[in-house]
Amino acid sequence: MRRWEILTWAGILAVCLVVGIVVGQWAAPEPVVGVVRFEGAIDFTAADQLVTLLERARQDPAVAAVVLEIRSPGGIATSSENIFYSMLRLRAEKPLVVVIDGMAASGGYYMAVAANRIYAPASAYVGNIGTRGPRPQDPYISPEELSTGPYKLAGGSRFDQIYQLDLIKEGFVNNVIAQRLNSPVNPLKLDKSTVEEGRLYLGSEAVAVGLIDLEGARSDGILGAAELAGLRRYRVVQLDDYLGLSLQLQPNYMETISQLAATAAPDTIFLLDTRIALPGMIEGDALEKHMLHLRAISPASWDRTSERDIPRTTTQEIAPESSPGQTPGLMPAPAKEGS
């Protein structure tokens, strides 16, 4: 073959290669970094919506990485755990980055520790690891129905309920330690007993103790997700809109928490920010305040109690004996001064 023929064919092949690369880049879908925001208390509905969205993102080949923005005081323990395990499934296949916006307390932080990387502003509230629940009740018998076994109606003794509360706390604490100790960026620097204290940290403090990885906001989270996915060219999308799913935000999460009191079971365990009154315990708190007020009253104050506040008896005291000039059966009249 002549030299000019070789050069001609080489040129044709080079042109075909360049055209193929250009057409391939144009035709191939551009990788997507999906951003989704979770705002509000963690109840059954909110958890179900987020779990569905995360599963769809995991199955979509165009979604290369996910950034989850969290602003949550926590909520129901089972719902928080469901989100945590769904996030772990997504993380096993695609990079997952969490950005804390304002707060991720208790169950909200439980969600966050499932991510590859956690960002938060210096002033955000982070942590509050632990469980909460109503005061345990003793087993009871209902006069309106028949039941088998002493714990059929109550579900267990007071000690069982306390033990279950502690079991869920142990699972929470162990998952936090397991995830954060293995962080390649900023591993946990606290021992288990300190984690169990349930403290609420500022974002800057959380970085220092290893509860989060870096200080930052949404833009930092997007760059971090793209870096973990090895992307140079990518498109940022609102993940719920991109997947055609609805994710209801709850800016006024206090209303949602109040509704939990009416819908959740009486012995529901919560992973909820300690600063928020536990649903269904308002009356108990009022009673406790009243009892503390009574305990604070000085015993000496009873000496100054007015006569009208002292309950009067309806019967007269009987004297042991009657003396001359005294009506039988009555106590003698007090002697006058000077007599």
> What CATH number has the domain bearing residue 111?
3.90.226.10
- The reply to whether 334 falls in a domain is no
- The reply to whether 207 falls in a domain is yes
* CA R_g for the chain: 34
Please report the pLDDT score of residue 310 as a whole number: 44
Please report the pLDDT score of residue 143 as a whole number: 78
- The reply to whether 254 falls in a domain is yes
- The reply to whether 144 falls in a domain is no
**Three-state helix/strand/coil letters over 13-51:** HHHHHHHHHHHHHHHCCCCEEEEEEEECCECHHHHHHHH
- The reply to whether 302 falls in a domain is no
Tokens of 220: 């930092």
- The reply to whether 148 falls in a domain is no
Please report the pLDDT score of residue 288 as a whole number: 58
Please report the pLDDT score of residue 220 as a whole number: 98
- The reply to whether 123 falls in a domain is yes
In which domain, by residue range, is 216 found?
30-137+170-287
Whole-angstrom distance, CA of residue 43 vs CA of residue 47: 6
CA distances from 171 to 1, 50, 110, 130 (A): 75, 22, 11, 10
pLDDT lower than 70: segments of the chain: 1-7, 9-10, 16-28, 261, 278-339
In contact, 116 and 251? CB cutoff 8 Å:
no
Please report the pLDDT score of residue 13 as a whole number: 74
Residue 80's closest CA among 70, 95, 90? Answer: 70
- The reply to whether 58 falls in a domain is yes
Number of domains within the chain = 1
